[in-house]
Chains A and B, each alone.
Chain A
Amino acid sequence: MEKDIIVCRDIKKAYGSGDTEVTVLKGITFSIKEGEFVAIMGPSGSGKSTLMHILGALDTPTGGEYFLDGKDVSRLSDEELADIRREKIGFVFQAFNLLPRASVLRNVSLPLVYANVPKEDRERIAAKALTDAAFPEAFWSYHSNQISGGMMQRVAIARSLVNNHALILADEPTGNLDSKTGEIVLHTFQSLNMGQGKTIVLITHEPYVARHADRIIHILDGNIVTDERNHKKLLARNEKDIPHDHT
């Protein structure tokens, strides 16, 4: 494992002020190295969504420092955060968030439009991302509202790959899927992590989802309670015993 992609030092986040101030994150410190597959777990209200927003440069902390790929992003303006998101982070959301009535290819190419990638290159990059996300080519020209939920999420994963980001941030990616399609999506993440060395941070409240990661960070009431290696999975990895029959 090489350099640190994420470094969080004493991250605090409070909403409101004075008597009504609510502290959601009470000083979170951890780091994630390049190529890691980390699950952040916690029940609702634990602050994991707030942490995810900060990690995703959608929001800034009220205290502490956050370095993403060597750059301090904890004190940036909205417009600078937009640049960081475009250049560094690929998002996968629970609700897929695809453009309806737009083709799969166009959905995957969308981040390239904002990154000013020339039109000639977009289709090639999008096609590669779809292949990497194990999305069947027969459906590339379908509209995104004509395909199943599991496929939609793999389109979203492909979309998070196109800009070759430092980090893929997945917020409850299986929350809207049944357990079988959820497994397929999780295996897609696993193979991206192992095959291409993608750094993946997965936010979830379900233990079976977290079990796919190498490392699990538990959050409760705005604090990290445990941060441990997922030995069972690491063992499996070492023995090259990852089941592929689900796909």
Chain B
Amino acid sequence: MTTRDLLEETYSAVTVNKVRSGLTMLGIVIGIASVIALVAVGQGSQASIQANIDSLGANLVMVLPGAARGFGTTVRSAGGSSQTLTPDDAAAIASSVSNVAAVAPEVSGRYQVIYGANNTNTSVLGTTAAYEQVRNVSIDTGNFFSDTDNAVSNRVAVIGPTVLQTLFAPSATASATPDMAIGKTIQIKGTEFTVIGVTVAKGGSGFSNQDDMIYVPLSTAQHYLLGSSAYLTEVDVEAATQDAMTQVQNDITALLLQRHNITDPTQADFNVLNQASIVSTASSVTGTFTTLLAAIAAISLLVGGIGIMNMMLTTVTERTREIGLRKAIGAKKQDITLQFLAESVMLTFTGGLIGIVLGWLAAAIISLVTGIATSVSIPYILLAFFVSAAIGIIFGYYPARRAAGLNPIEALRYE
């Protein structure tokens, strides 16, 4: 029996009962489609979280005030509002830790911002010119402020696209262009600032919305917005290379412990976070999520496989006399086994193909409707392809062997 004969026999056997073949195939279609769609959702989320973290800046080490995690014996107040980091700490990091490319001390707060009749309440971040490099800020129009602006406490501001739209849009439906804002004067907490730049839209980072943000020079913020407070809310440090990140993190910890006169590292009044560790935590979370989704989809694939086996067993019983006849006219066990295996593989393979297309469509619809990023990867499609063929072989093998093992005399007599 040639391969072509086998395929023709299989095709006619499968198409004889189209409804039943279709319904059986549906189990595999749904299984494969859900594997493709769910894995696409999982991998898409992973990729978008990764991209968001990357957009924070390359080789970023963040120093945050507040107690390090430890047993709850600390007397300090909650993280973020803690006042432990000073501009001198930032300067010390810049001068005495090696492999540091840039240091950006930050202060932040939420203030009322007014332009003309429009007003908004948004985050205002006071920092130095180095911030642009450390946190990958891209300027759409105008400039980021300079070290000079910082040194002389110039009242200049760089605004995010969300702020731009809120304050400068001519009407609720029209969008504002950066040119409308450059050179204009806005009021932050009653103080007038001149807009000198607008940043490029970045999207939410998962931590804060970097588009709904106003950047001002650190010294200006300290003078006009914070009063006399000299404490920083964060220090961002860019390591020179990715390999140096751990060393930079460790050196900063040692330096600040020494500067803050703390001998026990568990009592540290600051946190040093490494971007790589954030990435690995986030990707392990999304990896687990993807595995979970794949596992759920795999179960539906298993159920589909059992459906195939069920139908193949029914088919073998129904066609007992046909099997008897084929054996009587000289078909060998191998011929019969191959014929029924080919039928189940044809069902699962076709189901797999349809499933891949549907899964792809489903992933596209999911990202269109919910906005969740999805990514359909070629390796997973190939995997789904082979899995569907393998299911045909695994779940078709027992029925096929049963058919091949029939005694021709009894099979011919079967009613």
**Contact A79/B332 with A59-B409, A95-B321, A116-B1 known, Cβ cut-off 8 Å:** yes
CB distance A114 to B412 under 8 Å?
no
Please, how many angstroms separate the alpha-carbon atoms of A116 and B5 in the complex? 10
Please, how many angstroms separate the alpha-carbon atoms of A87 and B329 in the complex? 9
Interface 1/0s, chain B 373-415, versus A by CB < 8 A?
A: 0000000000000000000000000000000000011001000
Please, how many angstroms separate the alpha-carbon atoms of A101 and B326 in the complex? 16
**Contact A102/B12 with A59-B409, A82-B331 known, Cβ cut-off 8 Å:** yes
Say which residue of A91, A99, A101, A116 sits within 8 Å of B328 (CB atoms). Answer: A91
| Residue A242 at the chain B interface, CB threshold 8 Å | no
**Contact A111/B329 with A97-B324, A102-B12 known, Cβ cut-off 8 Å:** yes
Say which residue of B2, B12, B327 sits within 8 Å of A82 (CB atoms). Answer: B327
| Residue A180 at the chain B interface, CB threshold 8 Å | no
A95 CB to nearest chain B CB (Å): 7
Please, how many angstroms separate the alpha-carbon atoms of A91 and B324 in the complex? 12
Taking CB atoms and an 8 Å cut-off, the chain B residues in 9-53 that contact chain A are: 9, 12, 16
Residues of A within 8 Å of B412, CB to CB, are 93, 95, 97
Please, how many angstroms separate the alpha-carbon atoms of A133 and B79 in the complex? 97
Who on chain A is nearest to B408 by CB?
Answer: A58
| Residue A217 at the chain B interface, CB threshold 8 Å | no
| Residue A205 at the chain B interface, CB threshold 8 Å | no
CB distance B330 to A87 under 8 Å?
yes
Taking CB atoms and an 8 Å cut-off, the chain A residues in 204-232 that contact chain B are: none
Residues of B within 8 Å of A233, CB to CB, are none
Give the interface centre of B322, B325, B326, B412 by most chain A CB atoms within 10 Å. B325
Give the interface centre of B1, B332, B333, B335 by most chain A CB atoms within 10 Å. B332
A78 CB to nearest chain B CB (Å): 7
Please, how many angstroms separate the alpha-carbon atoms of A93 and B328 in the complex? 10
B contact residues, total (Cβ < 8 Å): 23
Interface residues on A, range: 20 to 34
Residues of A within 8 Å of B325, CB to CB, are 93, 97, 99
Please, how many angstroms separate the alpha-carbon atoms of A101 and B324 in the complex? 17
**Contact A79/B409 with A97-B324, A114-B1 known, Cβ cut-off 8 Å:** no
CB distance A99 to B322 under 8 Å?
yes
Residues of B within 8 Å of A114, CB to CB, are 1, 326, 329-332, 335
CB distance A101 to B329 under 8 Å?
no
Residues of A within 8 Å of B327, CB to CB, are 82, 85
Who on chain A is nearest to B328 by CB?
Answer: A91
Residues of A within 8 Å of B16, CB to CB, are 101
CB distance A115 to B321 under 8 Å?
no
| Residue A128 at the chain B interface, CB threshold 8 Å | no
Please, how many angstroms separate the alpha-carbon atoms of A95 and B322 in the complex? 11
B338 CB to nearest chain A CB (Å): 12
| Residue A22 at the chain B interface, CB threshold 8 Å | no
Give the interface centre of A59, A86, A97, A101 by most chain B CB atoms within 10 Å. A97
CB distance A116 to B333 under 8 Å?
no
Residues of B within 8 Å of A91, CB to CB, are 328-329
Please, how many angstroms separate the alpha-carbon atoms of A79 and B326 in the complex? 13
Residues of A within 8 Å of B12, CB to CB, are 101-102
Residues of B within 8 Å of A99, CB to CB, are 322, 325
Please, how many angstroms separate the alpha-carbon atoms of A53 and B324 in the complex? 13
Taking CB atoms and an 8 Å cut-off, the chain B residues in 304-329 that contact chain A are: 321-322, 324-329
Interface 1/0s, chain A 177-196, versus B by CB < 8 A?
A: 00000000000000000000
Residues of A within 8 Å of B335, CB to CB, are 114
| Residue A56 at the chain B interface, CB threshold 8 Å | yes
CB distance B330 to A111 under 8 Å?
yes
CB distance A82 to B330 under 8 Å?
yes
Residues of B within 8 Å of A79, CB to CB, are 332-333
**Contact A78/B328 with A116-B1, A119-B4 known, Cβ cut-off 8 Å:** no
Residues of A within 8 Å of B324, CB to CB, are 97
Say which residue of A53, A86, A95, A119 sits within 8 Å of B329 (CB atoms). Answer: A86
Please, how many angstroms separate the alpha-carbon atoms of A86 and B326 in the complex? 10
Please, how many angstroms separate the alpha-carbon atoms of A113 and B10 in the complex? 13
CB distance A113 to B409 under 8 Å?
no
Please, how many angstroms separate the alpha-carbon atoms of A56 and B331 in the complex? 14
| Residue A83 at the chain B interface, CB threshold 8 Å | yes
A96 CB to nearest chain B CB (Å): 9
Please, how many angstroms separate the alpha-carbon atoms of A86 and B1 in the complex? 12
Please, how many angstroms separate the alpha-carbon atoms of A114 and B12 in the complex? 17
CB distance A86 to B330 under 8 Å?
yes
Residues of B within 8 Å of A93, CB to CB, are 325, 328, 412
B194 CB to nearest chain A CB (Å): 85
Closest 5 CB pairs between A and B?
A86-B330, A97-B325, A111-B329, A85-B330, A114-B330
27 example contacts (A-B, Cβ-Cβ < 8 A) are as follows A53-B409, A58-B408, A59-B409, A78-B333, A82-B327, A82-B330, A82-B331, A82-B333, A83-B330, A83-B332, A85-B329, A93-B412, A95-B412, A97-B321, A97-B322, A97-B328, A97-B412, A111-B330, A113-B5, A114-B1, A114-B329, A114-B330, A114-B331, A114-B335, A115-B330, A116-B1, A116-B2
Extra 13 A-B pairs, beta carbons < 8 Å, given A93-B325, A111-B329, A114-B326: A53-B409, A82-B327, A82-B332, A83-B330, A85-B327, A93-B328, A113-B5, A113-B9, A114-B1, A114-B330, A114-B331, A115-B330, A116-B2
